[in-house]
Structure formats: C-alpha cells, structure tokens
Structure 1
C-alpha cells in the first residue's frame, strides 16, 4: 500500500473511532411536533457522522402525519428498532389521533397531566414486554441514549446497560419533573407552564406554589405506576432509575432562549438548545407562489394550530373562518376537517402547508398560532407578529412569552372568543408597526449566538460520549437535600430557637432586674 493510501486509511479509521453509536427515543404518542423534534436530533447527530438508531412502536407507521413527514426517510436513513404494540381504535384510545380526548385536555396544565397518567402504562409496558428488542440493545453496545424525558423506558435501558443518558425537554424550563430541572425559587420561577411573568402578584405566587405541590403529587403517581409495571415484568433495580434519573442523567437538552424566556437559575447539566429544530426553508412551489402574487400588497396570513388541533369543533372553526373572511389579506390555513361555515374566498385550507417556507416569505404579515414550542420559536426566528390562540399545556405559557415578554403580538383566549374579537386583534397587530419592530428586535437577540444551536447540540452530545457521562455537571447535593434542608427550614428553625432562648433569657433577666429595683425601692422607703 502506498503512503497516500495508508494516510487515507488512517484518516478513515480515526473518523470511525470518533463516531458514536446513539440510541434515540422519541415520545410515541402519535406523530406531533414533539416527536418530530426528537427525530431531528437524530438527523443532526447522523449528519455529524454518528450511527443513529431509533426506538419506535410498530404502530407509528400507520399514523397519517407520520407517513407524510417521516416514513420515506426513517427506515432508509436510520436503524430502527420497533417494539410490538397492539393495534388500537384511534378514535377511542388516549392518543393524539383521538380529537375528543385531546379536546378534553383543555384544562389547567397539571390537571391535564393528571388526566393522561394512564398513558404512561402504555409508554413503559409495551417496550418492556417485547423481550426481542432487549437482545438488540445488548448487542448494539450504544455509547449514548438521547430520549424524550417522558419515555421512561430509556431510563431503564440506561441503567440496565450502563449507557450515558441525555433527556430532551420540548417545553423549555417548565419540565414535568421538578427534580430534573429544579425550581430554585417559586417566587419568580413558574412551577409548571404557569402563564405569568417572573414578577408575580401574591395570588399568582399562591397559585404557583399550589401547582408545584400538585405537580409533585401527579409525578409520584406516574412514577409509582411505571416502576410497579417495570418490576412486575422482571427488570429489577434498573426500574428505580425511572424516578432517580435526576441523579443519573448526564444532561438535559432544553428548548430555551433568553429572547423568549425569563431568566432563571439553571445547573450546568441543563443545556439550552435554542430551537435547534428550525430548518432552512425550501423554495415555495409554483402553487403557493401564485397565491402570494395574487394576494398583492395586502400579503398573506399563515394559520396553523399544530398537529393536535388540525380539526376543530363546529363553533370554533366557524369563528375562525368568519374572522379570516373579514380581512383583506389572503389566509393560508393548515386545517383538516369539514369545511367551516362562513369560509371566505380569501381563505385557503389545506391538510399540509410548507409552514416554514411561508413564514420566511416577506409577504407574510401575521402568524396565527396555538403557540406550541416549535411554532413559538418559528415566530421568534422569522421575526413575525403573532396572534396566539392557546388551547392547553405549554401553549398559554408560550403565548404569554410572545405577547408580554417579546411583545410581538396579542393572545386571544378561547374563553369568550368571537369572530369580531379575533378580527380586531389581527387587524391591530398587522397595522400597528410596533409589534413587527418588537419581533425584529427579539429575532436579532435570538440570532446573536456564539454557537449555532445545532452545533451546540452536537458538541454536548459528543462531550458526553467522550467522557462516558457527565456526572461532574450535576449537583448531587441539590438532589439529596430533603424538604427542610432544601428550603433552609432547619436553619430558620435554629434561628427561631436561638431567638426564643435569647428572648426568654432577656425576659427572665428583665424580670429579675425589675423585681430587684422594686424590692430595693421598697426597702429604701421602709
């Protein structure tokens, strides 16, 4: 072999040695933005030269949106380990394809979380029952697991095979697990998706503390159910890592950016990945080019309520349709369902739209959104004024950030919504240039980053692979302190006891002095 060939071989062998073998575990609850973002993490790691394997149920391939978004890419691009999951009636099961079930979650965030507790039985039981996939895990010798933090099976795999674990949090700092990302001060840190600023009134702080303890109670229930199922299926001690992942996970990847979120204290193992899932927009096809040209000087409005609210109940879809019809702009609405009553000639509905490409177009005047995590970062990235119509979970939280933190739009609550109210809000945000100026200012802050979000994600994943974990970034003390130690109640009790003792001593001395003075005065005059 000549010198050139030898050199090429050495380079190739070196690059192969640096490649990691990574298992990626998205939440398997029907295809939605949360799953799509974890799949994008896998794609980013693949493009960085790593070998990537996904763990998915064999039923996800029947999901209509998954077929559109991923099927053509997944099996051709990645290794995929499928665990067996029995077919379900999607119209009755607790999943993202059951619109009645999704609508039932339009309550407070913690109450909605409590409603879906039974889902966690499926999340943990189906992959644990399929013993064949565990043999594949043993053979694969993974260097790293990157998992949605709600897929507890990844915690069991990590503990069973001693694989470093990175947990991904789609909702930013308001993670389900209050121990995984500690709420160091409930006076200005929301407990869980509380739609308020970091300056809370007394009543808001009372509510925040109440939500914190409710969330802890629901978490105990979820962990108890999941651990019981895991141990019943014979997985032993690794099952404890379901609840103890705050003490073992190397990193937490968190969707968070200073332009959008209020400042909070975070431990070094919590890494903000800054909306890494944003992609370079593709050129619009001729169909949409023609629509935009026809819209003329008025431009277009893009409307999307995410993957879960593509179908709306009759009253709400009519409210939206009539509000859109009253505007001079052309409205492009991502919608799947019966044609709404009152739909205007200016409104185009489609099951699928090239959302990022439309948001990137200069003709787009407004983005009407439910304020999911992904759409909120898109609005921030493309400097777009927004009308937020939140439905549930993280959506009120993110709508508040866009309308009050960024000040790039207005929030229209579902409670009491009317076509007239929505129309007025849209007209105000389009015509008042302050909203656009605020959006551009926030976008400038967002884009001014020392490391591109995708490069940052790759660096930290490779950091964990290189060091075979990152326990040095995680505070063991913060996780080991009990309630009294964490909130310094033992110190406060000590101070109170010392004050009481000193006070008691001073009172006794004062009494003795007073008695002595009175006794002296009495003896003197007698």
Structure 2
C-alpha cells in the first residue's frame, strides 16, 4: 500500500473510532500478577487509541517488583493519578519481603481472605480521604471505569459521577462478590476456590455450600465496614453501591476459558476474556540464549512460584533445590533470598526472569508453577506440561484444572513433600508424552477462538462507552429474588399445599363412599 492509501486508512479508522477517556483501577497492595493484568487492560485500551489514566497509591512506585515489572516508565505510558497512602508497614503488607505473613495465610481460602480484610479497608479509605485526587477525577470527565473487583472505591466513583463501570475478576469464576456472578447451582459450580471438578461428591457438596455461606459472611464484613468508612467520609448515597455493585456494573470481565475451566451458566454481562494478558514473547537476550544452548538435548525447566513466593522457608527451598539438582535438565528458577542448601550446578537463580519468552522456547520441557491464574493461562497457551505446587487462595483450584481437567501435569501438595517425591513427579511428567499431548490438545482448543482475547476486551469496553453503559445485559430479577423465590420454595410450598388439599379431599370422598356403601349394604340386609 502506498503512503497516500495508508494515510487515508488511518483517517478513515480515526473517523470511525471514538476515543474514550478511561480510568483503570488496579488492586494496590504490592505489585503482583493481579495488578499487572489490570495494568495490561489499560495498555490494551491505550493501544486501541483511548486515553487511559491509572489510579494508584503514591507508595507503589517504591515497590521493588513494581520497578522490575513496570520499568519505572508508568508516567511516560499512562496518565497516573496517585492517591496518598502512608508508608507501607511490612508487618501488614502482602509481598515477597514479608514471607512470614504470607506463609501464615496458607490454608482455607475464605479464612485467609477474612484475615486480610484490613488491607481492603485501607484500599477504600485512602483514595476517599485524598480530596485532591477526587477533584481531579471529577474534572477528568471519564467515559468508563475498568476496575479490579476488589477496589471498592471504583464503585463509589462510578455512582458519584454516573460513569459506566466494568469490574475485572482475575481469578476466573471465583468472584469475591456473590452478587456479581450468581452461583446458579452449588451442586456443580464451585462456590469459591476449592479444587473441585464439576462432579462433586456428597462431602464436597457439603463443603462447597459451607464455603459459600462462609464467603457471604466475609462479604458482609467487607461491605459493612467499607460502607461505614464511606459514610464517615460523607460520600452519601454512592456508598450504597459498595454492596449493590450488581446494580451499577455494566459488565464483568472474567478471566476464564472453556479449555481450562469447567462449563457453567453465565449471564450476558459476564464476558470471558480468555487470558488476554498474554504477551508476544520478546527474543531472549544472549545470556539466556547461551543457557539454552548449553542445556543441549535435555532442555530446560522453568520454575516460578509467582510474586509472593519468591522467597521460601529453609526446608522447602532445600527440598526444591535438591530435587532440581537431581534432574538432567538445566533449571531456571525465579527466586530471591538466601541460596538454598543442596543447590545443583544445573540450577540458575534469578530475581527476575523473562518468563513468557522462556516458556515459548522449544527447549522448555517442564513448567514448575504455583498455578496462579496468570501462570496457568501461560501453561495452557504454550502447551507446556506442568508440575503444580499450590500454596494458597486460587492456586489449588488452578492446579486441579491443569492436572485433572487439562491432564497436562501433576499436582504436588506441600503437605508431605520430599525431594525424591518431587523429583519423581518431574521425571514422570517429562518422560510420559501423554502429558505433553494433552497440553497440546488443550492449547489447540484455547487458540481456536473467533475473536482474539485482546480484541474481545476492546470491543466490549467500547460497547459500554458507545451505549453509555449496558444495563440491558444485567438480569435485575436474578439479584432481586429472595431466598424462597430463588430456590422456588414458594412454588414447592404451593404444590405441597395443593397436594395436601387434594389428598384430604380424596380421603374425605373415599370415606364418604365407603360409608355410603356400607350403609346401603346394611339397609339391604335389614
């Protein structure tokens, strides 16, 4: 195409696309994949020609991982609104430097969420207290807000300034807010992040229902305290939408895909965004290219336990190090902290690795992962066999999906883990070609999509901008039904009453008939 034709195409495209002014609100308690994915939504929208502003605390840019992951150029890329936040207390923050606190959260996911509620109360109070930022939001005239569902402040902003709101659910179908994505049937849909399939045993169904009511109880604590903070700071009726987000959110962007997750019914306003955050891998630099070349025919194993488990307690890091040392592959481990005992010459430690670029290499034989949402989609996307080592929250859920739904690997529990057990699992998954074949089959399903995930995300965001919201996609009735209506208990009661009345009438009629027959027979014999 000549230059004139190209220019005309650009002008035509510009005339057809109405650029929006979008506020993106990531969850902000330290840099992690959840924050990175929400920031990536902003990048995608910016690349589509929209003006994007991030709402972040003024402390996040001091975070060591944030500096590594975002390369200190946020202000050059986005508009950034910083709300004031006190310096982070390491004893309360959830990050890799506070390993003792992170380890204390291992266990029941709902209980762990209950434990960290004070962090979310800070995430609503600090932006609301910063009136300067609030004035800037008022003057910016945003056309759309895209927010992590846990940032309750976005609901108040949307309600106050009448801005359409899209909530992003990073963990897939496990929304914290039960009203956003209805649990249509707890008999086959997980209530939260338990590692269940869609065929639940009796005991699993019992625990699933128990988790659902526990989660609702934690939700009530979150909503009531957030509402109290909002009212104290004088934000009026907008505070009502903290709990009633289903009445204000136009869409829910859900990080799920049918190749990885079990099927479930979803309302039209819930949009699966299929691991949109996956990047186009960059070529490896000479350092890593040399490592792969030296690895030879055995290839490499990529190891990453996410942003929160980059440091490990002594026993566990030694267990991993000894298992890796016994493997013929070269191991590249994203890790910071003391050098583990028993570390082999084949194992390379690095604070930051080009993870997607390494996963994209044909030399990668295995991905050892904690099964975070992002890592699980990477394993799916690159058709990699996996060893899943779940620590907490959504990780057991995703490990179960990879090992039982996709069947592309094995899950090794931290309970009772040993170097020999871990080594045997790695050896089995690498040598048994069934795991690789299953990974490739699932990847083929994942990639067979009518619309690329990033394009789908852009389309629906622009759809909301064009129509100034999408209330027509939400079922108002679904969340208005009370307990008796939702489970049709009133209908069951009606049917029971009708059956009792009919049964009673039939009994009376039968008695009358019998009495009539006997009385006639008695008269006849007399």
* Correspondences of 1:250-269 after superposition (within 5 Å): 250-269=250-269
2:172 corresponding residue in structure 1: 172
How far apart in 2 are the matches of 1:94 and 1:354?
26
How far apart in 2 are the matches of 1:305 and 1:444?
26
Matched, 1:163 2:169: no
How far apart in 1 are the matches of 2:207 and 2:519?
57
2:509 corresponding residue in structure 1: 509
Aligned-residue offset at 1:513: 2.6
1:209 corresponding residue in structure 2: 209
Cα deviation digits, residues 432-470 of structure 1 (max 9, x gap): 000000000000000011111111111111110011001
Matched, 1:56 2:49: no
2:105 corresponding residue in structure 1: 105
1:423 corresponding residue in structure 2: 423
How far apart in 1 are the matches of 2:89 and 2:487?
47
2:403 corresponding residue in structure 1: 403
1:93 corresponding residue in structure 2: 92
How far apart in 2 are the matches of 1:331 and 1:71?
26
Instruction: Identify the range of structure 1 (284-293 vs 357-366) with the bigger mean alpha-carbon deviation.
Output: 284-293
Contact 2:68-2:352 within 8 A present in 1 as well: no
Instruction: Identify the range of structure 1 (16-25 vs 170-179) with the bigger mean alpha-carbon deviation.
Output: 16-25
Contact 1:166-1:252 within 8 A present in 2 as well: yes
How far apart in 1 are the matches of 2:507 and 2:119?
61
2:433 corresponding residue in structure 1: 433
How far apart in 2 are the matches of 1:492 and 1:105?
42
Residues 503, 59 of structure 1: alpha-carbon distance in 2 compared, 3 angstrom cutoff: same
* Number of residues of Structure 1 aligned to a counterpart in Structure 2: 520
How far apart in 2 are the matches of 1:518 and 1:416?
78
How far apart in 1 are the matches of 2:398 and 2:215?
19
Q: Secondary structure at the match of 1:250?
A: strand
1:496 corresponding residue in structure 2: 496
Aligned-residue offset at 1:29: 0.9
How far apart in 2 are the matches of 1:177 and 1:222?
10
How far apart in 1 are the matches of 2:127 and 2:305?
31
Runs of 4+ in 1 over 6 A off after TM superposition: none
Instruction: Identify the range of structure 1 (167-176 vs 514-523) with the bigger mean alpha-carbon deviation.
Output: 514-523
How far apart in 2 are the matches of 1:339 and 1:71?
26
Instruction: Identify the range of structure 1 (424-433 vs 14-23) with the bigger mean alpha-carbon deviation.
Output: 14-23
Contact 2:391-2:414 within 8 A present in 1 as well: yes
Cα deviation digits, residues 146-185 of structure 1 (max 9, x gap): 0000000000000000000000000001111111011111
Structure 2: gaps spanning 5 or more residues: none
1:47 corresponding residue in structure 2: 47
1:455 corresponding residue in structure 2: 455
Cα deviation digits, residues 250-281 of structure 1 (max 9, x gap): 10011111100111000111001100000011
Q: Secondary structure at the match of 1:72?
A: coil
Contact 1:61-1:71 within 8 A present in 2 as well: no
How far apart in 2 are the matches of 1:129 and 1:432?
57
How far apart in 1 are the matches of 2:205 and 2:499?
29
How far apart in 2 are the matches of 1:71 and 1:341?
32
Contact 2:21-2:144 within 8 A present in 1 as well: yes
Contact 1:143-1:465 within 8 A present in 2 as well: yes
Q: Secondary structure at the match of 1:225?
A: helix
Matched, 1:245 2:278: no
Contact 2:61-2:72 within 8 A present in 1 as well: no
How far apart in 2 are the matches of 1:290 and 1:17?
45
How far apart in 1 are the matches of 2:232 and 2:281?
48
Aligned-residue offset at 1:524: 4.2
Q: TM-score, normalised by structure 2?
A: 0.96
Cα deviation digits, residues 356-382 of structure 1 (max 9, x gap): 011000000000000000000000000
Contact 1:325-1:347 within 8 A present in 2 as well: yes
Cα deviation digits, residues 297-326 of structure 1 (max 9, x gap): 111100000001101111111111111111
How far apart in 1 are the matches of 2:424 and 2:523?
89
How far apart in 1 are the matches of 2:514 and 2:199?
50
1:22 corresponding residue in structure 2: 22
How far apart in 1 are the matches of 2:523 and 2:350?
103
* Correspondences of 1:296-307 after superposition (within 5 Å): 296-307=296-307
Aligned-residue offset at 1:418: 1.1
Cα deviation digits, residues 372-403 of structure 1 (max 9, x gap): 00000000000000000001111000001000
How far apart in 2 are the matches of 1:486 and 1:180?
15
How far apart in 1 are the matches of 2:128 and 2:16?
32
1:140 corresponding residue in structure 2: 140
The alignment's C-alpha RMSD in Å is 1.7
How far apart in 2 are the matches of 1:14 and 1:249?
28
2:223 corresponding residue in structure 1: 223
